[in-house]
Structures are given as C-alpha cells and as structure tokens.
Structure 1
Amino acid sequence: MKTTLKLLVAACIAMPFTAHADDSLVQRGAYLARAGDCIACHTAPRGKPFAGGLQMMTPMGAIYTTNITPDADTGIGRYSEEDFTRAVREGVAKDGHNLYPAMPYPSYAKINNDDMHALYAYFMQGVSPVKQANREPDIKWPMSMRWPLKLWNIAFLDKDVYHDKAGKDVAWNRGAYLIQGLGHCGSCHTPRGIAFQEKGVDESSRAYLTGGVLDNWFASNLTGEHNVGLGRWSEADIAAFLKTGANAHATAFGAMTSVINNSTQGLTNADIIAMSRYLESLPAQGGNGAPAYSYDPKATKVSLARPAAHDSGARVYSAFCMHCHGVDGRGFAPMLAPLAGNPNVLEKDASSLINVTLNGTDDLVVGGVPAPYPMPHYSSVLSDQQIADVLTFIRGAWNNNSQRVSVDDVAKLRKETQAPR
C-alpha cells in the first residue's frame, strides 16, 4: 500500500499539469502557437514538431533550439504553468539558466495571462511528447557563459504585458498586440544594438520595424516609408501578403516564407486585418534617402533583346531573369515578383538580394498548394562577378536608382551561407 502511494505521489510530481483543460482552451492555445510561429524555430528540418534542434546563427556562434514538447525528461513536461510563463516571458528555464535572446521573449513578454494559460494548455495537452535531448550551443568560452544574460535582461527586458492604447480602436490594438507580442515581428524587422538588443519594441521608437540584418538576410522595413517600406502598400496589399506571401509589390523569401507557411496564412481574417491596420498606421521611418520612387521604363537604357557584349549585368538578366521578371521589370505579380520598385531592390542593404540569388528560397505553400514558380538558386550557375553585375543592373534599372553590388559582398555571403554547418 505504501509503495503504491509513493508511486502515485511521484507520478503527480512528474505531471504538473494534472487538470485536464477543455478542448476549446487547447484549440485556442494551438491558434496562439500558430500566431507565434513556434513550430518554425522549434522544429529541425525533417524533425518532429516542436522537438527542437534547429540551428540558429548568432554573432557568438551557433545555437540550437530546444525541445518544447511535453516529454518529461528532454522537453518541458515537468514545467509548471509558472515555469512555462517565466521561460516564455523572461527567458529563464525551469532550472534557472537564462535563454539566449534569439528566443524572442522580449516580444513574448507582452502576452497576456489568458493567452499564456491557453498556450500552456496546448503545449502540455495538444502536443505529442518527443524524447529528444537538447544540443549544447557551439559557442566557445567565455562567450558561452550564461550569467551575463541576467544583466542583459535587467538592461533591456520590459516585463509589462501589452496594454491597449487610449484613442485607438479595437482592431488597431489587436493588431499591435499581435505584431509586437506573439508575432514578434520586431525580433527580425528591427535593427539591433551592440548588445544584440532590439533598438525599439513598439511604435514609440523611430527604429521600430525599420529593418534589420539577421542570418544573412535583410528583414524589410515595415513602416510607411515610401521606397523601402510599406508606404505604397494599401491595407489590402498587406493583408494579401500575410495570407499568401505575395502581392503586387513583393514576394516572401528567406525566413518570411516559413512565417507565411506556418503562421500568418492560418490566422483569422479579423486578425490579419488588425495586423494590416496597425502596420498601415506606422509613420515613415528609415529609408534610403532617395526621392520617392515612380516607375520609369525609359530609365533602362539598354536593349534587353540584344544587350551589348560589355554589359555583363544586362546579358545575365536577359539570359536568366527576364523570362520571369519581364523586360519591363514588372514581373507577373503575384506569381512572379516585380523588380521595378520592389522595396527589397531599393533597400540600401543588398543582403537579401544576394542571398536569394545565390540560394533561392523555399516553396511558399498556401492552402497545401506550393507556389508554381519558386526562385531557383544560381550559386552553381553564376559566378560572384556575374551575380554582382546582374544585381547592379537590376538596382539601376526602371528608375530603381539603388547602389551597386560589389563582387566582394557576393563572395562573402556565398562563403557564409554555403559553408558546412
């Protein structure tokens, strides 16, 4: 009898979430986890959902995402709701060690208590447990020490949950909550300081959502800036992009492809409209300092039908790019992205253009159907000089008037993205 009692007590200790949440709460948590795109980071290629192991590059070295399934030994199965909330909002694991801010807990700190409760119910009862040990970071000592992260949190972590802004309607506040919190858009689209901190966490900062470099991509400016931001996009354009990954202005690539595939396409129309309304309200910040873009087909002063032998960029464009993106640079949106006036083409930082040309991008899969014309990779077809030439041509054509791309920049990014990891 005593042995049986001890076993029951041990079982209860190992299973902190003893109360069975109703299905509606678990389903709500599943929706919130989708809004937070948790699966994208916590699932390795060909790995099991939420079991971790995805490599993420930081300035200090590689880290690997953790197992957040309810497995009691290798996952979060022994986490109480208080443990879970502390990890998500403050970046502190159950055993007290600090998580790296690659985990967007500065954004998740804004998640309200009701949503946190639903998320906990989902991860404890709606996710299948997977026994998979976590992998230690590839960061050398002394940079591997975790205690400085406690000081980082003191300096940069705002623990306040999101509070509705006075004078703003329900939709705007809902959009702000999703963009700033669960959606953690700022973790990619806001530039970071010397301590890897986001330079702004909401619209009160002039730096917020003005774009940033992360893992060899440049995450776009999401403010109302005319050239490189969303200044020429309508609320409907933003909504279409969040739902499908493409519109008349641009197509998703890099990490944003995963966001569309795993997160935003599955959100309700009401939430998509709310997010679009919030983004549409942001004033212009950042930018390339150039005059407001307007399309001019005459600005391309070469014949793409028969480019001169000395014009390498035009020749490469004619051979490899023109059939999809058009002689006029306007593409065939939304299936094939325009290059004329594309915010990513006008951006001063050409990282994304170089990366997508070298390495292509993963398929957009909307409603279970892959996009018909994904961007192929040209790393094995074009030399560094050819890629620099064609991107320089594109950035100078159709009144884009953007800076040249150097062969050194292409070579550097090729090395960083194609070195074995």
Structure 2
Amino acid sequence: MKNMLKGLGAALCVALPLLAQAPADAATPAGAGAADQALVQRGAYLAQLGDCAACHTAPKGKPFAGGLPMNTPMGRIYVTNITPDAQAGIGGYTEADFARALREGVAKDGHNLYPAMPYPSYAKVNDDDVKALYAFFMHGVAPVQQANRESDIKWPLNMRWPLMFWNMAFLQKGAYRDKPGKDVAWNRGAYLVQGLGHCGSCHTPRGVAFQESALDESGSAFLSGALLDGWFASNLTGEHNSGLGRWSDEDLRTFLKSGANRHASAFGAMTSVINNSTQALSDQDIAAMSAYLKSLPPVGGNGAAAYTYDPQATKVSLDRPANDAGARVYTAYCMHCHGVDGRGFAPMLAPLAGNPNVLAKDASSLINVTLNGTGDLVINGVPSPYPMPGFAAVLDDKQIADVLSFVRAGWNNGAPAVGAAEVAKLRQSTQAGR
C-alpha cells in the first residue's frame, strides 16, 4: 500500500475543439503548401494541453496511431489513428472535416463517433485553436500506416445512426464565450477546463444516456466527481472534505505541475494527464485553471462535518494491532510509507489523513490503486522514486477491505467502511486479461 491514494482523480483527459463555421481556407487539403511553423508549434502546445496522446497513443505504440482499448457501458472500443496517413489516418481530412469530427463527432465519411470522444467539450474550442491543432496534426505528426480496429460492441448496439439523436439531445454547439463580470484569468481557466481540458468528461457524473450531467458551472453536478472504468474521478468543486475546499491556490497549481502536494498525489489516468499534459503548461494557463476551479462552489461530499485532523484513536489502535484486522495489515504493509500519523511524507509519499480520495463516498479508487498500483509520475524526465505498487497478489479481498476500512475511519477521516464484495468485484473487472 506504499504511496497509496496517489491522486485527485482518474481522468482520461484528451482535448481539442468545435465551431459553427469552418475558417475561410477550410477546403485546403492536408498536404498543400508549407505549414506555418509557429502555427504548428502552437498546435503542439494545444494538443499537449488536451493530452491527446493519452487516448490516441497506445502503450509502446507510435504517437497518435490509435489502438488504445477503452471500456464503455456497451463494450470495448479502440481509439482511432489520427496521424496524417492518407489511408489509415486523417491525412485526407480538410480543415472543415477535422473541425466537424472534433466539434460534432462526425467523421469524414459521415459516420458518428462514440461520445467516449468528448466532442461535447471540444465544441467550446475557438477557431484559432482549431486551426492550430489542424496544422499540428497535418504537419507536426509523422504519418503511421496502422489500420483502425473495429469495436467489440455487438449488434445492434454497435449501430451508429442513433448517435444522431444523441447529438440532437446533448450536443451544445458553439465556442466558449467569455462570461461578463469575470476577469481574464477566470474566463481563460473556464475555457481550458470546459474545452481543451475537458475535465468534465471524467469528473462530472453521467446520465442514463451516458451524457455529462452538466457541461459548465451552471449545472450543480459539474465536476462533482464520477465513477469511470473502475476509478472515481475526484470532486473538483469547493467541497471541504472530498473536494478542493481545503486546497489553496498554490496547492492546486503545485498539483497540476507536479502531480503531488500536501493533500494528495496523482494516480490512475490522472498520472498520464500530469506526465503528458499539465506539467508542460505555461504558468499563466495553470494559474487560470486554478482560478476557475477554486471559484466553484461546494457540491457533493458524504455529508460529514468539515474534516479536522485527530490522530489519537488511530495511534492507540496501531499500538495494539492484534485487536484490529485492518491495523494489522496497515502495520505490515503501509505504515512505513504513510506513517503512524497517517500524514505520509508529502509530496513524495501521499498522506492518508484528510486525503480527499479517502474521504470520498465512493471507495473505488482506493480499492483499485491498492489492487493494481499506479504508474510512475515522471516530472521533467525524472520518475517518482516511490510509486504505489499493487497488492492483488499479496492481499486477499478481506484484507484489502479491512485495511481500507481502517484507513477510512482513521485519523478522524470518518468515511464509510469497505466491504470484501466491493474488492472482489473490482478485482475481477480490473484483473481480467492481466
């Protein structure tokens, strides 16, 4: 359980754009003329801001060649090749084709894309950024002849035409417009979080049709946390316990740049977001995102009183571990990294006392990271020295449930206990095929 709870979420952030009208030169084919290098470089930054590589580059695969499997409620799909290869990729796309795919979820040949691609978020990206992204993908990415793979979704659920009606119901067209009464930094942060960052794709709950329950701060569910593919993407509102209410602006900026702060460290898909995206962003953009997120009012939580640290009862339990099954596991496997006091050694080793992921109502992320560990945070090319290992082969379902229940109750955390059946369910779903 070393460095457990590495995270403020699991997020599959990838992001790009949408607009109602294509630019004037939208009919220009991919290979025509020399690309404006400044535009290509800006597009490269925007693609990094959106962490496009997270979904469109498979492990050990070539950049943006697709093939990454993604689980959906209907079955597994495989992310597509977006290199400028004319046959397998998007080399034959005009800028108008590119914009339509990103903004409306419709490919060049007219078939609808699954909303696992967050085009409802990309709809908010402005024209200039669409143009820069197109320039990057056409002139800054090497073409790869790697054929796209069909989804595993069975008929009739694999039919695409019903997605036209999904779009009619849930797609809100139009680029982001600055909100009156808000300053430049707030509006820039809102634009990045809602659009290119598409943070809501993971951190906002989904409805029965897999639609995000809210697309901006006008909806109360926006960024209030959501279960996705075996992880619980954290609450990003001002909620005091499981959200960002106790985080300062500096705490949040530090987390986005390094993946760790005095409250938590990144795990799950958020590790990729830190590694490939947010650490490379400008200080100005990081500050803008933080300003926007810190402005969101508190939503959700488990209804508990505001967290305050109290180590006494937990210390007594750890002094006599034989009386508590969870304390016995904690003493054997966790205490040397996370401490008797539960405060770990932040930011190198995550704290458990008051960690928002520990305090969350849904324990899925805690179970998942204990079973399977997490990948290395790699900041400025240097891997984290203490990644969280997986304990699936070491601890059984009851032991994991016991220790997580101990942690969730310890140090005045006051979060609900974890059952062995919950652990067994996630073990089965996340260990399949390993």
Match for 1:37 among 46, 51, 56?
Answer: 51
Q: Is the 8 A contact 1:302 1:314 kept in 2?
A: no
Q: Which secondary structure state, in structure 2, belongs to the residue aligned with residue 209 of structure 1?
A: coil
Match for 1:217 among 228, 231, 234?
Answer: 231
* Residue in 1 that maps onto 2:71: 57
Match for 1:19 among 33, 46, 60?
Answer: 33
- Give 1:151 deviation, angstroms: 0.4
Measured in 2, the distance between the counterparts of 1:83 and 1:166 equals 32
* Residue in 1 that maps onto 2:333: 320
- Give 1:312 deviation, angstroms: 1.1
| Alignment RMSD (CA, Å) | 1.2
Match for 2:305 among 291, 294, 300?
Answer: 291
* Residue in 2 that maps onto 1:388: 401
Q: Deviations 1:141-197 (Å, cap 9, x if unpaired)? A: 111110111100000000111000101111111111000000000000000000000
Q: Is the 8 A contact 2:53 2:64 kept in 1?
A: yes
Measured in 1, the distance between the counterparts of 2:379 and 2:319 equals 35
Match for 1:46 among 60, 71, 96?
Answer: 60
Q: How does 1:75-114 map to 2 (within 5 A)?
A: 75-114=89-128
Measured in 2, the distance between the counterparts of 1:143 and 1:300 equals 50
Match for 1:273 among 278, 287, 303?
Answer: 287
Match for 2:203 among 175, 181, 189?
Answer: 189
* Residue in 2 that maps onto 1:344: 357
Amino acid at match of 1:163: R
Match for 1:399 among 386, 398, 412?
Answer: 412
Identity %: 74
Q: Deviations 1:73-104 (Å, cap 9, x if unpaired)? A: 00000000000000011110000000011101
Q: Is the 8 A contact 1:68 1:75 kept in 2?
A: yes
Q: Is the 8 A contact 2:77 2:153 kept in 1?
A: yes
Measured in 1, the distance between the counterparts of 2:385 and 2:128 equals 40
Between structure 1 and structure 2, the one with the greater Rg is: 1
Pick 1 or 2: higher relative contact order, CA cutoff 8 A, min separation 6. Answer: 2
Q: Which secondary structure state, in structure 2, belongs to the residue aligned with residue 62 of structure 1?
A: strand
Structure 1: tracts of 5 or more residues without a match: 1-12
Q: How does 1:293-312 map to 2 (within 5 A)?
A: 293-300=307-314, 302-308=316-322, 310-312=323-325
* Residue in 2 that maps onto 1:6: none
Q: Which secondary structure state, in structure 2, belongs to the residue aligned with residue 398 of structure 1?
A: helix
- Give 1:49 deviation, angstroms: 0.5
* Residue in 2 that maps onto 1:200: 214
Q: Which secondary structure state, in structure 2, belongs to the residue aligned with residue 63 of structure 1?
A: strand
Measured in 2, the distance between the counterparts of 1:97 and 1:161 equals 23
Q: How does 1:134-173 map to 2 (within 5 A)?
A: 134-173=148-187
- Give 1:404 deviation, angstroms: 0.6
Q: Any runs of at least 4 consecutive aligned residues in structure 1 with deviations exceeding 3 A, and if so which?
A: 13-17
Amino acid at match of 1:255: A
TM-score normalised by structure 2 residue count: 0.93
* Residue in 1 that maps onto 2:423: 410
- Give 1:305 deviation, angstroms: 4.0
Q: Is the 8 A contact 1:104 1:184 kept in 2?
A: yes
- Give 1:304 deviation, angstroms: 1.8
Amino acid at match of 1:126: G
Q: Is the 8 A contact 2:28 2:94 kept in 1?
A: no
- Give 1:19 deviation, angstroms: 2.8
Measured in 1, the distance between the counterparts of 2:316 and 2:157 equals 52
Measured in 2, the distance between the counterparts of 1:166 and 1:228 equals 30
Q: Deviations 1:340-394 (Å, cap 9, x if unpaired)? A: 0000000010000000000000000000000110001000000000000000000
**Paired positions, count:** 408
Match for 2:344 among 331, 355, 376?
Answer: 331
Q: Which secondary structure state, in structure 2, belongs to the residue aligned with residue 354 of structure 1?
A: helix
- Give 1:21 deviation, angstroms: 2.2
Amino acid at match of 2:181: G
Q: Is the 8 A contact 1:17 1:80 kept in 2?
A: no
Q: Which secondary structure state, in structure 2, belongs to the residue aligned with residue 304 of structure 1?
A: helix
- Give 1:299 deviation, angstroms: 3.4
Q: Is the 8 A contact 2:317 2:324 kept in 1?
A: no
Measured in 1, the distance between the counterparts of 2:269 and 2:100 equals 27
Q: Deviations 1:238-262 (Å, cap 9, x if unpaired)? A: 0000000000000100000000000
Q: Which secondary structure state, in structure 2, belongs to the residue aligned with residue 57 of structure 1?
A: strand
Match for 1:376 among 380, 384, 389?
Answer: 389
Measured in 1, the distance between the counterparts of 2:253 and 2:237 equals 15
Q: Deviations 1:249-280 (Å, cap 9, x if unpaired)? A: 00100000000000000000000000000001
